[in-house]
C-alpha cells in the first residue's frame, strides 16, 4: 500500500473518530450541564468553554487514533523482526537469561521498544511472550505474540 493511500486512510479514520467523540461528548455535556448548554441560557461563556473543550478533546483523540494507525505497520514489521530473532534461540538459552528482557531500538528511523517474557517454563518447552510498542502514549496497547520453543527443536 502506498504512503499516500495509507495517509488518506489514516486521515479519514482520524476525522471519523473525531466526529464520533465530538458527538458523544456533546451529548454527555448536555446531560451533565443542561442549564449551561441550553441555547436560551444566559451563561454563554460557560457554553462556549464546554463546546471548545469538547472540540479540542475530540480533535486530540482523533489525531492520536490516526497516528496509531499510521505507525501500526511499522510495529508489525518490528514484531516480525524480534520474533525471528528470538525464535532462533535454543531451548537452553532461556535457562540462562534474566527475564523480562526489555530494550529500545531505532527501527526504520523510529524509536520502538520490545519486551520479552516467559509465560510457561515446562520441561518439554518454553512459552515466550513478545510485545512491541512505541512508548509515549501508545505503550498502553502494544502489539504482541507468543512463541513456543521446544526442547528437541521441533517446529510448532
Digit-coded pLDDT (tens) for 16-31:
777 777 777 777 777 7
User: What's the rounded mean pLDDT across residues 85-90?
Assistant: 90
Residue of higher predicted confidence among 128 and 59: 128
Residue of higher predicted confidence among 36 and 70: 70
Residue 100, preceding peptide bond in cis (omega within 30° of 0): yes
Residue of higher predicted confidence among 33 and 111: 111
User: What's the rounded mean pLDDT across residues 109-115?
Assistant: 88
**What cell was used for 13?**
479514520
Using the predicted structure, report yes or no on whether residue 40 has a pLDDT greater than 70. Answer: no
CATH topology of domain 80-150: 3.30.1300
Amino acid at each position: 500500500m502506498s504512503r499516500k493511500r495509507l495517509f488518506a486512510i489514516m486521515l479519514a479514520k482520524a476525522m471519523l473518530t473525531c466526529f464520533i467523540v465530538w458527538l458523544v461528548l456533546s451529548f454527555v455535556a448536555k446531560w451533565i450541564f443542561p442549564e449551561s448548554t441550553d441555547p436560551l441560557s444566559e451563561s454563554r461563556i460557560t457554553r462556549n468553554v464546554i463546546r471548545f473543550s469538547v472540540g479540542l478533546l475530540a480533535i486530540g483523540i482523533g489525531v492520536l487514533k490516526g497516528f496509531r494507525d499510521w505507525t501500526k505497520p511499522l510495529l508489525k514489521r518490528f514484531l516480525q523482526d524480534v520474533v525471528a530473532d528470538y525464535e532462533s534461540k535454543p531451548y537452553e538459552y532461556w535457562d540462562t537469561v534474566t527475564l523480562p528482557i526489555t530494550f529500545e531500538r531505532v527501527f526504520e528511523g523510529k524509536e520502538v521498544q520490545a519486551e520479552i517474557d516467559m509465560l510457561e517454563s515446562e520441561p518439554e518447552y518454553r512459552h515466550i511472550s513478545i510485545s512491541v510498542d512505541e512508548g509515549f502514549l501508545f505503550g498502553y496497547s502494544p502489539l504482541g505474540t507468543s512463541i513456543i520453543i521446544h526442547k528437541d527443536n521441533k517446529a510448532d
